Amino acid sequence: MSQIENEKVLVVPGQEIGDLSHRPGMGTYASDGKIYASQLGIVNERSGYINVQPFAGKYLPRQGDSVIGIVKDIGPNSWFVNINCPYNSMLHGNETQWKVDYGTTSQYLNVGDVILAKINHVDEIKRVNLTMKEHGLRKLSSGQIMTVDHTKVPRVIGKGGSMISILKENTGCRIFIGQNGVIWIDGELEGIAKASQAINIIDKNAQIQGLTEKIREFLGVYEAEEVDTALPLVEEPEAAPSPENEEPEHQDF
């Protein structure tokens, strides 16, 4: 792999980022034995793939992503959900754990309700189908939501969940981060306010070194911490959300 990956620098479309000793991943293409960036972003390598994570832009849903959405309209057998992306997203009654009869959708979810769901399928014309059938997917009651740039999600979580652990432990809040950049926070009002402010700091300063210490200082925590590095975007989440009888958890990267 080239020096670019090690430095985690910003690359532009058409820039060479590696060779075929790795496999071309998202945001890349291969030509003449070399791998090139196909979009503006940050290079990362995972499981033998070279990826370019978009530096900014709209969230583009992918099958298997865990997301937080807001119900924006109701049909006789489905709900239309805003998941912070450019495409229409729908949750069908058959993709829930409820027995939803035709015309009874409003008995289960109403406009403005917040749900924890998963991307079930994205078709060829970019229509997004959601599911809540898997264990742990559900309506999120109480709490509040906020939105960050979806490219900053790994930074809010931190390496091995380190940053989100600091936030939860020092605000007393339950926090779930959707891969679409929508975050649910629940707890005491003071804790919610503090967590929200800390997440805003992370969102605005994701590329700086020493961010972990900056957040520790904001939260009044002064324990020694391993050396922090600049934004290492992005690895793909793998963990499933928590069971229904537990608090929602973050996704580990």
Peptide bond into 114 cis (omega under 30): no
201, 209, 212 from 226: Cα distances, Å? 19, 12, 9
Mean per-residue pLDDT for 18-46? 85
Dig out the tokens for 160 from the structure. 């091995």
Environment class of residue 81 by beta-carbon count within 10 Å: exposed (0-12), middle (13-18) or buried (19+)? buried
CA distance 190 to 171: 8
CA distance 211 to 222: 13
CA distance 68 to 176: 9
Digit-coded pLDDT (tens) for 129-141: 999 999 999 999 8
CA distance 35 to 18: 5
Helix (H, G, I), strand (E, B) or coil at 212: helix
Q: Write down the pLDDT at residue 231.
A: 40
**Cβ within 8 Å of residue 125, ≥6 positions away:** none
Question: Torsion over CA of 62, 122, 71 and 143, rounded to 10 degrees?
Answer: -20
Torsion sign, CA atoms 93, 118, 62, 186: positive
Q: Write down the pLDDT at residue 223.
A: 57
CA distance 222 to 9: 30
Given a cut of 80, is residue 83 above it in pLDDT? yes
CA distance 124 to 21: 31
Dig out the tokens for 38 from the structure. 């196909």
Q: Write down the pLDDT at residue 8.
A: 54
Cβ distance 80 to 72 under 8 Å? yes
Q: Write down the pLDDT at residue 238.
A: 36
Domains of the chain, each with CATH number or no CATH: 3-54 (2.40.50.100), 66-140 (2.40.50.140), 142-253 (3.30.1370.10)
Digit-coded pLDDT (tens) for 193-235: 999 999 999 999 887 888 999 999 999 986 544 444 444 333 3
